[in-house]
Amino acid sequence: MKKVLTIAGSDSSGGAGIQADLKTFSAHGVFGMSVITAVTAQNTQGVFAVQDITRDVIAKQIEAIFEDIEVDGVKIGMVSQVQTIEVIAEQLRHYAPQTIVVDPVMVSKSGYHLLNPEAEVTLIKELLPLAMMVTPNIPEAEVMTKMSIRTLKQMEEAAKIIYQMGAKNVLLKGGHLEDDSTDILYDGREFSYFSSSRIATKNTHGTGCTLSSAITANMALGYSLNEAVSRAKEYITIAIQHSLSIGKGVGPTHHFYTLYKKAGLIE
């Protein structure tokens, strides 16, 4: 069985962060492991408190995993603070796993800064050069490139700029645009496009976490980069189509729809 690690924050409501990542790994038939960077008190309506985990405990979690278990893929999500990023980068440079997908989580849909703005530069400098793929959404790409992104053409321009920052591949997600949801992949030479019709739902909590985890799982399973993104896009689209009206705000997506359907657990 392939073994995949998420280095990210905990979402108490289970829709995003570590919880979304582990559900996604399970749905892909890979063994999920976690290094927790921060604990958030969060639900479908907002983020109410964050406790960052110490540098030492983050280092120890990474060490505990890599000293014992072969890791087939790593996804990085919420990294919160400069010191958190520095210790993750230090440890990953040491253990050098082949597949690292960086989701540069900055601000939650509810508007909470999950990454201290002072740490934005450190994230770019320390984590992007380690990444096989970086998966910014449009607001994150705007912060990284300092340009406004409203069109597919501007997405392409931004992807080229982010590529120059050191990631081997850039997947710029189009979930925040108004038209179809088109994500674009740039590998330094050409663009590939992954499109789905926009699904009319408010329940999109954790979509970015889920997509990057699904890409990591598919890469660990041996799919090519393009195939991994294509399969992950299909997975997130189904998860959004069958998203759950849990809570009073932005509900989570459904990670197990296809599996439950096949097992006859749902109509």
Task: Identify whether 207 is a catalytic site residue.
Answer: yes
From the candidates 15, 99, 209, 251, which is the catalytic residue? Answer: 209
The answer to whether residue 209 is catalytic is yes
Q: What per-residue string of b and e applies to 185-202 under the rule 16 or more CB within 10 Å gives b?
A: bbbeeeeeebebeeeeee
- Is residue 4 within 8 Å of 71, Cβ to Cβ? yes
Is position 109 an interface residue for ligand LCLJCK34 (rule: CB under 6 A)?
yes
The residues, any chain, with a CB within 8 Å of residue 153's CB and separated by 6 or more, are none
Q: Tokens for 228?
A: 């991994």
Among 24, 34, 108, 181, binds ligand LCLJCK34 (CB under 6 A): 108
Burial category of 152 from C-beta neighbours within 10 Å (exposed 0-12, middle 13-18, buried 19 and up): middle
When asked if residue 136 is in the footprint of ligand LCLJCK34 (CB under 6 A), the reply is: no
Burial degree of 107 (CB within 10 A; 0-12, 13-18, 19+)? middle
Query: What's the token pair of residue 157?
Result: 């321009």
142 belongs to the binding site for ligand ADP (CB under 6 A): no
Task: Give the span between the Cα atoms of 158 and 131, in whole angstroms.
Answer: 17
Any catalytic annotation for residue 175? no
Applying CB under 6 A, the site for ligand ADP has a residue count of: 18
Pick the closer one to ligand LCLJCK34 by CB: 89 or 240. 240
Contact between 207 and ligand LCLJCK34 by CB under 6 A: the answer reads yes
Name the minimum Å distance from CB 244 to ligand LCLJCK34.
Answer: 13
Out of 73, 175, 208, 251, pick the active-site residue: 208
Smaller CB distance to ligand LCLJCK34: residue 160 or 241?
A: 241
The span of 18-26, 32-40, 167-175, 243-251 binding ligand ADP (CB under 6 A) equals: 167-175
Give the span between the Cα atoms of 257 and 262, in whole angstroms: 9
- Catalytic-residue membership of 247: no
The least distance separating ligand LCLJCK34 from the CB of residue 145, rounded to whole angstroms, comes to 18
Q: Are 106 and 143 in contact (CB under 8 A)?
A: yes
263 C-beta neighbours (distance < 10 Å), count: 9
Stretch that binds ligand LCLJCK34, among 90-98, 115-123, 200-208, 240-248 (CB under 6 A): 200-208
Q: How many CB atoms lie within 10 A of CB 52?
A: 18
Binding ligand ADP (rule: CB under 6 A), the pick from 19, 40, 169, 204 is 204
Q: How many residues bind ligand LCLJCK34 (CB under 6 A)?
A: 19
Q: Other CB atoms closer than 10 Å to residue 86's CB: what's the count?
A: 17
With binding defined as CB under 6 A, does residue 183 bind ligand ADP?
A: yes
Q: Which residues are known catalytic residues?
A: 173, 204, 206-209
Interface contacts to ligand ADP, rule CB under 6 A: 137, 173-176, 181, 183, 196, 198-199, 204, 207-208, 211, 233, 236-237, 240
